[in-house]
Chain A
């Protein structure tokens, strides 16, 4: 009995329920939301430590042993992801104290946010492929409702695309589960892995593998099915954008990591070769799309796509070093990306716009905020000694060792263009003087409490970015441990089924 595996799911569900019950009182909701997020973070740290000691932590829900019941499994990758979820949750919950408007709160902002977190944590922890589908849907329904909070024109248009693409992906995912069940007669992922490796390898397995790749690829915003992301992510409230940017696409990536290391590892030369090309095109299209944008949040949201490409490259190369690099990159990107979105919310608070043309002069009036941005932006671009440098360094080194020249070249090239986009934001928003037509009344105001609350999570996340960069070794050790577990699924199978495969 190890309750820490289930607690990261139960705590946000419980918090969501309590905030729903407290819908009449704004203050109570806010307190509950922050307390719940901190509890989630604590439980995720508990999970991380016990995974570090035991390797795999397994909990059979309802005491139904695998493969019959639903099993929750945490390996190092899941534990890292859950920890990052907790981190993001705390940051967003604090940020929301000052950024969520009263009308959003009335329409269930806090319950939905915690339902989303429960869905995300559930996807990371489940060991059952159908249960994964259920958590995906929990997450999606919450994200649909969060995205249209406020009901503006752009939000509606973005939401239509977001909802359609995600439902399409769910339908493909469900069909793939149906075919897989017909093939192996089980839903437990460890059991599927055993049955598939025993069964004769046929073309149908590859078809199912590609169906999973397409379904998760849509969720992860991989090439060529990413277009719903730039159409929708920048439309929601800024805290919601940050939450989505940090976590949602990463759930798709996590599912790809899980499925293509545990279940579909028989025909690597086919599936993972395909993934390399997907990764390359995802990187390149994402960064080129961002270079063409001139709006703060749009640049950031299209950049999500190119970062997804880097992570997928780690999975596609499928060497220990590459997987470790991918995991390291996930750790780095969730923190940095969330932080950049939160900063864009602060500049919006100061100047009332996201258009680069109308922004400016922030370095003059708020040098501290500008430094916070610069650290995250340069980390995203991969300058030493920040976190992004080590993430990209590991991946590129893995690429060279695997002699994947095209992918390595693309990764370097994309890193340069990322720097271009970040410098563009820096010079337009922070460095250049404020255009005359922009209303500058808010920018010189004193530090209000609500502004201080907005700063707090940004400072914490920036410090984390610095720490990841300056103390890369322990993080790398954890990533390496996660990569080892991914490459040797027998440990996972043994932990779940209790037998040696």
Chain B
């Protein structure tokens, strides 16, 4: 694949981190408002897709450092892990568990199994889309 133009190069450097931040924003607001793990994962992989179009598959792999397969694995593992806390409480699987944590500033964060599940979905979606992109572009580049 041909590397992108100068404009794309410059724009990508700014847009990729912004889009990643936006994906995390979407992930965290997902429980009560529109958003969530799936769409956030797609947005994050969109960011890397932009990087891929600009700089090619090899550099994207370098940037990611972790193999997409591992990301899928970790994501699935987190999602699966969110099933079990309910069992320890003696409730059916998937029952949401909430652990509110008070922060020093007086703010409260609610940690929960749905959040864990969402993070798992985020990583799984991100990993699978990235794996598709990287595999397809690598075969293209080899040809």
Contact for B93 among A17, A23, A61, CB less than 8 A: A61
Residues of A within 8 A of B86 (CB): 62-63
Contact A20 B72, beta carbon cutoff 8 Å: yes
Evaluate whether A21 and B70 lie within 8 angstroms (CB atoms) in the complex, with A3-B87, A10-B83, A13-B80 already known: yes
Interface residues of A in 7-26 (CB under 8 A from B): 10, 13-14, 16-18, 20-21, 23
Q: In residues 49-103 of chain B, which contact A (Cβ within 8 Å)?
A: 69-70, 72-74, 76-77, 80, 83, 86-87, 90-96
A17 pairs with B80, CB closer than 8 A: yes
Q: For B96, what are the chain A residues with a Cβ–Cβ distance below 8 Å?
A: 62
A residues 275-301 near B (Cβ < 8 Å) are none
A3: nearest chain-B partner, CB-CB: B87
B96 to chain A: closest residue by CB:
A62
Contact of A59 with B76 in the complex, beta carbons under 8 Å: no
- Scan residues 17-72 of chain B and give those whose CB is less than 8 A from a CB of chain A: 69-70, 72
How far does the Cβ of B29 sit from chain A's closest Cβ, in whole Å? Answer: 21
Report how many residues on chain B are interfacial, defined by Cβ distance under 8 Å: 18
Whole-angstrom distance between the Cβ of A64 and the nearest chain B Cβ = 9
Chief secondary structure at chain A's binding surface = helix
Q: Given the known A-B contacts A10-B83, A13-B80, are A62 and B94 also in contact in the complex, defined by CB atoms under 8 Å?
A: yes
A21 and B93: CB pair below 8 A? no
- Contact indicator A21/B94 (Cβ below 8 Å): no
Q: Smallest distance from the beta carbon of A221 to chain B beta carbons, Å?
A: 30
Please report the C-alpha to C-alpha distance between residue A1 and residue B83 in the assembled complex, in whole angstroms.
Answer: 14
Distance (whole angstroms) from the CB of B41 to the closest CB of chain A: 17
* Contact partner, A61, options B77, B90, B94, Cβ 8 Å: B94
Which residues of B have CB within 8 Å of A354?
none
Q: Which residue of A1, A6, A23, A63 contacts B73 across the interface (Cβ within 8 Å)? A: A23
A129 to B87, CA, bound (A): 25
> Would A1 and B77 count as touching, CB distance under 8 A?
no
CB pair A6 B93 closer than 8 Å: yes
Q: How far is the CB of A22 from chain B (nearest CB, A)?
A: 8
Closest-by-CB residue of B relative to A71 is B92
Distance in angstroms between the alpha carbons of A17 and B69 in the assembled complex: 11
Question: Are the CB atoms of B69 and A23 closer together than 8 Å?
Answer: yes
Q: Please tell me if A60 contacts chain B, counting CB pairs below 8 Å.
A: yes
Contacting residue for B76 out of A3, A10, A17, A62, CB 8 A: A17
A21-B91 in contact (CB<8A): no
Residue of B nearest to A20 (CB): B73
Q: Determine how close the nearest CB of chain A comes to the CB of B102; give it in whole angstroms.
A: 26
In the complex, which residues of chain A have a beta carbon less than 8 angstroms from the beta carbon of B73?
17, 20-21, 23
For B69, the chain A residues whose CB sits under 8 A away are 20, 23
| Contact A62-B92, Cβ < 8 Å, known A21-B70, A21-B73 | yes
Residues of chain B with a CB closer than 8 A to A63's CB: 86, 91-92, 94-95
Could you say which residues of chain B place their CB within 8 Å of the CB of A18? Answer: 77
Q: Is A60 a contact of B77 with CB atoms below 8 Å?
A: no
Tell whether, in the assembled complex, residue A62 and residue B95 are in contact, meaning their CB atoms are under 8 Å apart: yes
Q: A12: shortest Cβ distance to chain B, in Å?
A: 11
Instruction: Verify A1–B70 contact, CB threshold 8 A.
Output: no
- Whether the pair A21, B74 counts as a contact (CB closer than 8 A) is yes
- What residues of chain A lie closer than 8 Å to B83, measured between beta carbons? 10
Inter-chain contacts of B87 with A (CB < 8 A)? 3
Do B95 and A20 touch (CB < 8 A)? no
Residues facing B in A51-107 (CB within 8 A) are 59-63
Q: How far is the CA of A11 from the CA of B25 in the complex (A)?
A: 33
Other-chain contact of A59, B72, B80, B93 (Cβ < 8 Å): B93
A1 in contact with B80 given A17-B73, A20-B72, A23-B69 (CB within 8 Å): no
Would you give the shortest CB distance from A324 to chain B, in whole angstroms? 32
In whole Å, how far is A21's beta carbon from the nearest beta carbon of chain B? 4
A6→B91 CA distance, assembly (Å): 12
Contact B77 A17 (CB under 8 A): yes
A361–chain B nearest beta-carbon distance, Å = 44
* Chain A residues with CB below 8 A from B93, complex form: 3, 6, 10, 59, 61-62
CA distance A62 to B77 in the complex (A): 19
The answer for the CA separation of A62 and B72 in the assembled complex, in Å, is 24
* B80 near A10: Cβ-Cβ < 8 Å: yes
B95-138 contacts to A, CB under 8 A, are: 95-96
Q: Determine the residue in chain A with the shortest Cβ distance to B87.
A: A3
Instruction: Count chain A CB atoms within 10 A of each CB in B70, B73, B96 and give the residue with the most.
Output: B73
Q: Are B72 and A1 in contact (CB under 8 A)?
A: no
Contact A61 B76 (CB under 8 A): no
Interfacial chain B residues near A1, Cβ < 8 Å: 90-92
A3 to B86, CA, bound (A): 11
| Cα of A293 to Cα of B107 in the assembled complex, Å | 73
Taking CB atoms, residues of chain B closer than 8 Å to A16 are: 76
A61: chain B residues at CB < 8 Å are 92-94
For the complex, what is the distance from the CA of A214 to the CA of B94, rounded to whole Å?
34
* CB closest residue in chain B, given A17: B76
Do residues B74 and A59 form an inter-chain contact, with CB atoms below 8 A?
A: no
A115 CB to nearest B CB, Å: 10
Nearest B residue to A115 via CB reads B76
Set B70, B72, B74, B92: member contacting A60, Cβ < 8 A: B92
Known contacts A20-B69, A59-B93; 20 further A-B pairs (Cβ under 8 A): A1-B92, A3-B87, A6-B92, A10-B80, A10-B93, A14-B80, A16-B76, A17-B77, A20-B76, A21-B70, A21-B73, A23-B73, A59-B92, A61-B92, A61-B93, A62-B92, A62-B93, A62-B94, A62-B96, A63-B91
13 pairs across A/B with beta carbons < 8 Å? A1-B90, A1-B92, A3-B87, A10-B93, A16-B76, A17-B73, A17-B77, A20-B69, A21-B70, A23-B73, A62-B96, A63-B86, A63-B92
Mark B residues whose CB is within 8 Å of A: 69-70, 72-74, 76-77, 80, 83, 86-87, 90-96
